[in-house]
Each structure stands twice: as C-alpha cells, then as structure tokens.
Amino acid sequence: MNRSELIVAFREATGLSKREADWFVRRFFEILTEGLKRDGRIELRGFGVFRLSTRNQAGFLNPKDGRYYGATQIKTIKFYPSQPGKEAR
C-alpha cells in the first residue's frame, strides 16, 4: 500500500474530504519522522514498533573507471508488528 492508497482508505473509513485525509496522512508521517529522528523508536501499542536502524550498504566497482566505492552506513526504518492477543507490559 502506498501513500495515495492509504489516503483513499482513510478517506473511506472516516468520511473526510480528500484534502483533509491527505493532510492527516502527510502530518502523521511528518510526526513519525520527527519522532524517529529524536528518539530512534516509536511504539504504537496494539499496532507495532518503528525503529531507526543503521546498516552497511554494499560497496561497488564502477565499470567505467574501475574505482571501488566502499560500503557506507545508511539509516533505515524497521517495523515490528505487535503480536495478536499479547498486551504490552
């Protein structure tokens, strides 16, 4: 599901206008991004946890000039869904 599909689903579930649903979804992702930058972790009880993770990106060899570009670290977001029937402690 991409952002536009999420907006349509949210709109159908709430009865909001397209503009209002679009604003809400965009704002949710902005808040999610700000929280991950600040804390590195966001927990939505009963839904799951978003965590900021660092991983090594693979290095590569440029075929034109033969230079090797080494691995770099990149930040990714990982999502861990809540387990059904398990309450948070």
Phi first, then psi: what are they for 27, rounded to 5°? Answer: -65, -40
Report whether 7 contacts 22 (CB < 8 A): yes
Boundaries of every domain in the chain: 3-81
Q: Select from 16, 19, 27, 21 the least CA-distant residue to 6.
A: 21
Distance CA 27, CA 33 (A): 10
pLDDT digits (tens, 9 = 90+) for 9-58: 999 999 999 999 999 999 999 999 999 999 999 999 989 999 999 988 88
pLDDT of 84: 79
CATH architecture of 3-81: Irregular (4.10)
pTM of the shown model: 0.67
Burial (CB < 10 A; 0-12, 13-18, 19+), residue 35, is middle
